[in-house]
Every structure is written in structure tokens, then in C-alpha cells.
């Protein structure tokens, strides 16, 4: 890998900024003879690169879990607040995997691993997502059965069978294995009800747990590996 690209990936510098830092002698590669050059090749797995005396850590891909608050749109950029405003800038290529509506809270996966993101969203992989749903009116057993078997939300096919149960607080726990537009809200409308609060609790093997609203953390290696195997 070229040294200037390495600086771009690890220190988030532009190619011009990286070249300027190298020219000013701010960059060193341990064990390398002579001054550094932007186009010199290094091995990210073994070479130790320092910027202003600080070792830069190279990571192939990044995996972050965000507890999205209401009021933020799920997009990489926009004229209003986006979820990326809550995420540490560890990579230039981060993106949210899937979407949560502006008024929806909960678990949102952020990564720069495009291949994994595509696989997790692919309909053929049926990665489950569980939501806590507060409804305008109580749900009956018949309502739950309809959600479990699939309902008509105005498309060619019924929704896929879902898992539906009530928690100890009287709220719906709904697990979906597909991702249609506004699906949870449309499913509740299909059974004559309305969503008043929506929160995603899990995405595949990932659990939101006690992550604070608005907080973001890196996944553990075990969590990232579980995602790759989902």
C-alpha cells in the first residue's frame, strides 16, 4: 500500500494533506532508510508508521453499533442531522446498514465493510431484526397470529412470517426477516392499529443491551465475527 493512502485510511488525511505531512517530516516508518515519500510502498500488517510521533493503527474494516435517537435521519449526509453526526470518524467510508425512520430509536450498525453490509440486507439471508413496538391500542391474540402468518401491506406479496409476542410491559416484540419500506408501521396498520413508539433491539446476533441513547461503540471481535457468520 502507498504511504499516502495508508495515511488517508488511518489518519483520515486527503492525498494532498498526506503528501504535505510527509514533505514536512511529520511521518516516519520504523526501519526505513532515508526520508519518507508519498508513493513508497509499506506493509500495513507489519510496518510501524508514526505521524507526529504517534503510532497509526491500520484496521481493514470498522464495525460500530449506534443507539440511534429519534430526530436523526439514517443517511451519510444531508441538510439536517444524520446518524453520522453521532459516529466517531474512524473511516472515510462508513455507512449505516439499512435504515431506521427519523422517529425510530434503537440499534443501527455502522461499517465500511460494503460486502458484509450487502449480505446482511440481502433478502435471501433473512437476517432477523427485533423491535419493541408501542401501539395505540392493545393487541389481541388474533392480531398476533396475523402478524406471525403475514399480512397485506399493499404489495404483491404478504409480509414474511414474523415472530410476535408481548413483553412484560404489554408492548409488542416483533421480529422481522425482511426489510420493506416502513414495514413495522404498515404491518400494524394492516391489523387496525398504529405505532406510537418504535425501537430496534437487535440486528442479527447483535443486541442493543444497555448502550446509552445516542452512544456509539465499536463491536467486539466476537460480535463482528458473529455478524460475518449471520
Phi, psi of 118 (to 5 degrees): -65, -45
**CA–CA separation, 201 vs 207, rounded Å?**
6
**4, 43, 47, 101: which is the annotated catalytic residue?**
101
Scanning the structure block, which residue is given the C-alpha cell 426489510?
A: 179
Residue 101 is among the residues annotated as catalytic for this protein: yes
Q: How many Cβ atoms are within 10 Å of 45's Cβ, its own excluded?
A: 8
The DSSP code for 18 is: H
| Catalytic center residues | 101
Amino acid at each position: 500500500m502507498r504511504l499516502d493512502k495508508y495515511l488517508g485510511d488511518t489518519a483520515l488525511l486527503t492525498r494532498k494533506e498526506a503528501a504535505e505531512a510527509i514533505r514536512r517530516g511529520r511521518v516516519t516508518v520504523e526501519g526505513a532508510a532515508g526520508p519518507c515519500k508519498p508513493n513508497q510502498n509499506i506493509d500495513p500488517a507489519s510496518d510501524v508508521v508514526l505521524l507526529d510521533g504517534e503510532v497509526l493503527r491500520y484496521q481493514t474494516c470498522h464495525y460500530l453499533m449506534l443507539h440511534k435517537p429519534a430526530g436523526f435521519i439514517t443517511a451519510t449526509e444531508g441538510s439536517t442531522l444524520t446518524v453520522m453526526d453521532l459516529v466517531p470518524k474512524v473511516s472515510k467510508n462508513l455507512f449505516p446498514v439499512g435504515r431506521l425512520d427519523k422517529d425510530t430509536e434503537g440499534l443501527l450498525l455502522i461499517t465500511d465493510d460494503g460486502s458484509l453490509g450487502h449480505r446482511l440486507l440481502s433478502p435471501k439471508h433473512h437476517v432477523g431484526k427485533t423491535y419493541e413496538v408501542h401501539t395505540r391500542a392493545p393487541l389481541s391474540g388474533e392480531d398476533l397470529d396475523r402478524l406471525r402468518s403475514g399480512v397485506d401491506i399493499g404489495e404483491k406479496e404478504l409480509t414474511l412470517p414474523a415472530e410476535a409476542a408481548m413483553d412484560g410491559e404489554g408492548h409488542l416484540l416483533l421480529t422481522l426477516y425482511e426489510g420493506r419500506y416502513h414495514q413495522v408501521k404498515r404491518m400494524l396498520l394492516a391489523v387496525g392499529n398504529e405505532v406510537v413508539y418504535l425501537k430496534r433491539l437487535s440486528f442479527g446476533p447483535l443486541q442493543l443491551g444497555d448502550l446509552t441513547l445516542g452512544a456509539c461503540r465499536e463491536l467486539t471481535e466476537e460480535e463482528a465475527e458473529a455478524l460475518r457468520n449471520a
